[in-house]
Structure 1
């Protein structure tokens, strides 16, 4: 017991001394003229304010911006300032106009383990390796012909999904839990893009990948700010997340290695074929594949779940979706599934998808790092400074969005300033770091929604008690704090 207390005391003294040394070393750099921001406390900066009242980070930052301006200084700890921008024009400058100045990443050292030392598409800085991965993803898995070839398989998956919801509801008094099924739907889709259209419907693979991604999100979500620094892996009590990350990496390698070593990809246009053609190490190939799953599963499945929840809250929206589907199918709603081709003609369904990810953006905050000294909104930004874009605030800007806190898909249909709203629609990012799978994700969400509303009336699990719309920011994706449970009734026409 005494030895444990001694270890804690020694560690605390060591960390304090180390932090003070870093603060002294960086003090000259911090004398730059910074934009206004909330007052900070030594060592912890503004952390005490960012966790105040239980509100999520993007919401707190949006409220701060109302007081301190759309470009402000926030200290996520006491070592270096971060510049937070909450204005579309400034976000555009960071991600487009001055992208070469602000395209570097600033990630926790812990991320090295599950990213092959920052060699995956989402974690590496923009350079030759990044450009190669980005071009390869677009020319292989995400090229238009590959996506088109997937349509019949997507429709088959949807038919299976509808059947599974029907079975669950029949045995559970009409109640269904959508998210687990939606996650597995996305995994099957991604597996074919990664390994080729002939990838078998392997339920063991689906279950293991689902568990691995869930564990990855839990681990990264629980990572402390102190894990920004590599030294924490040597400090008692702080090294456990590193051990867990190494264990997860080993599980991922065991799951994906067989597809590198024994199986030849069934399509030259799958992502694995491209990665193998680049002469990359097995770790880099495997962890780029895993990154695709980890980024796409929760974001896509959660977007579908959010859409269903919003439509339960807004019955008139659900009925408009059904009427559009019925119209496009010529009234034959009981026949087969809504096809990918038909969904592309459904303007209102696509508007529901856009409004959902405006209200609950996939990535509410986007951190970048200045690669060189630059300027932003009249403020000099030093090399290495973190620049955090609050995309949530941009998507709730009253100057752009009429009644921004109201779920209103009609804003994307026939509004006088649809073009202006499209410019400010940053739910998937903009510029060189825009989500590479944006179009595929929007298609999959729209396809799933159209078919689920065609097949069932979606309502509250408990009469008079609407679904909880509170958010939970799981690492990088806004999910539902209380997973959706709904009551469904098969449509009769």
Structure 2
């Protein structure tokens, strides 16, 4: 009996040791409160899948464990930050790179410009941002033309016709980004359609397949993704070769003139075309949708547009004067939780509150959680552009990277396109909700309506 008891105790000790060895994640990261792994290899990925998205998982995680919480991607510890105060502590010392761009490049497997020499990384970031700014300045008439074509098309619709925002505004974003990024090759709609097909495959798998681990489990899907990525990279390289030495005004021309390597030009063009299209499309979709739900906001914006622009088209130098339009777009980003997630790799050991964040820990910025935090935003689920008249709201928004100098460049591009769209649309048409329509969001890297969103339109007298 004693021998059996000794054997049993020894077996339990060995079993516990084996569990701790196989499940290093059963010990929380540096004592930060959070979840133990659900599965040995996948960590908490099954929990993320069960919740429907990483954003929805993080909402539950922070509800349970507070503003600093931990979980596991496979065998890798992850720390998530879910309040303004905790993000402020972590963001301020880490402003050399953009967290959304860093995350996107990591998901694509792009390494150039990641880590390494900090000065070179900062210089490359400045080249990227300058290229976007120059592209808008030199191609603003083209952007206006593309918007006017769409608004004229909508103006021709009868009042009873349901207008699909997602398909139309993704088309506008695709045309704007491809033509401003790469020039005349994409004046042909067929070229844009081919580009859009690969774009959708890549973005879908980045937003869903990588974040829930399902891409690695399907060889068919993985090959489809890799083929689309390879084809899109080939197109970008081909355009770069065609435009080398050109003094034209596209985004890619600016990169080429900065003497980046062929690989760097391709990678930065991929990031801009991927993120630029999706962020621009969804900012426009959500802005038009929210305006259709509030006649009061719509009329207040119409008055500002008339006061500032009269009957003239908007121009780059007039955009800063459209303060209420900016508030509408800020509130659209906040209410829709447009980019609900960003991430950084902890390059050196850090601290948030009393918690140590070890070197090489993946740190998630749960932006979607923060944007619906009742302690930061009064009535957080209400669409209310007037909240951005308050300086505290502006500061919190800027801290999260959605405005000011720290806003990601793709979002700044999207704000310009959306301002041009609203400046034309709201002066010519009234926007109305479709009755009994339920609009739900799908939260991936960018929040997107689960189904197409419809409105009706009537001409202003």
| TM-score, normalised via structure 1 length | 0.78
What SS does the aligned partner of 1:371 have? Answer: coil
Q: What is the deviation of 1:384?
A: 1.8
Q: Name the structure 1 match of 2:420.
A: 447
What SS does the aligned partner of 1:358 have? Answer: helix
Q: Name the structure 2 match of 1:59.
A: 56
Once residues 380 and 289 of structure 1 are traced to their aligned partners in structure 2, the CA distance between those partners, rounded to angstroms, is 37
Q: Name the structure 2 match of 1:390.
A: 366
> Is 2:178–2:186's contact at 8 Å kept on the other side of the alignment?
no
Q: Name the structure 1 match of 2:346.
A: 370
Of 398, 419, 422, which residue of structure 1 is paired with 2:391? Answer: 419
Question: Tell me, which stretches of 5 or more residues in structure 2 are unaligned?
Answer: 1-16
> How many residue pairs get matched?
442
> Is 1:56–1:473's contact at 8 Å kept on the other side of the alignment?
yes
State whether structure 2 residue 302 is matched by structure 1 residue 322.
yes
> Is 1:183–1:210's contact at 8 Å kept on the other side of the alignment?
no
Q: 1:79-478 maps to which residues of 2 (within 5 A)? A: 79-99=75-95, 111-112=108-109, 115=110, 118-119=111-112, 127-143=118-134, 146-167=135-156, 169-170=157-158, 173-195=160-182, 201-224=187-210, 238-264=218-244, 266-267=246-247, 270-277=250-257, 282-330=262-310, 332=311, 337-413=313-389, 418-425=390-397, 426=399, 428=401, 434-461=407-434, 464-465=435-436, 467-474=437-444, 476-478=445-447
Once residues 460 and 358 of structure 2 are traced to their aligned partners in structure 1, the CA distance between those partners, rounded to angstroms, is 59
1:211-251 C-alpha deviation (Å, 9 max, x unpaired): 2211111222342568599xx6xxxx644344223311332
Q: What is the deviation of 1:29?
A: 11
Cα 1:182–1:244 shift into 2, 3 Å: same
> Is 1:375–1:381's contact at 8 Å kept on the other side of the alignment?
yes
> Is 1:83–1:386's contact at 8 Å kept on the other side of the alignment?
yes
Question: Tell me, which stretches of 5 or more residues in structure 1 are unaligned?
Answer: 1-19
Cα 1:303–1:22 shift into 2, 3 Å: farther
Cα 1:126–1:362 shift into 2, 3 Å: farther
1:360-401 C-alpha deviation (Å, 9 max, x unpaired): 233211122212222222112222211111112222222222
What SS does the aligned partner of 1:41 have? Answer: coil
Once residues 98 and 204 of structure 2 are traced to their aligned partners in structure 1, the CA distance between those partners, rounded to angstroms, is 29
Once residues 251 and 131 of structure 1 are traced to their aligned partners in structure 2, the CA distance between those partners, rounded to angstroms, is 29
> Is 1:105–1:124's contact at 8 Å kept on the other side of the alignment?
no
Cα 1:437–1:291 shift into 2, 3 Å: closer
Q: What is the deviation of 1:410?
A: 0.9
Q: Name the structure 2 match of 1:14.
A: none
RMSD: 3.6
Once residues 128 and 107 of structure 2 are traced to their aligned partners in structure 1, the CA distance between those partners, rounded to angstroms, is 25
1:2-42 C-alpha deviation (Å, 9 max, x unpaired): xxxxxxxxxxxxxxxxxx99973784995753222245435
Once residues 296 and 101 of structure 1 are traced to their aligned partners in structure 2, the CA distance between those partners, rounded to angstroms, is 17
Cα 1:362–1:22 shift into 2, 3 Å: farther
| TM-score, normalised via structure 2 length | 0.83
Q: What is the deviation of 1:423?
A: 1.7
What SS does the aligned partner of 1:318 have? Answer: helix
Once residues 162 and 455 of structure 1 are traced to their aligned partners in structure 2, the CA distance between those partners, rounded to angstroms, is 8
Hey, which of these two has a bigger chunk of helix by percent?
Answer: 2
Once residues 281 and 450 of structure 2 are traced to their aligned partners in structure 1, the CA distance between those partners, rounded to angstroms, is 14
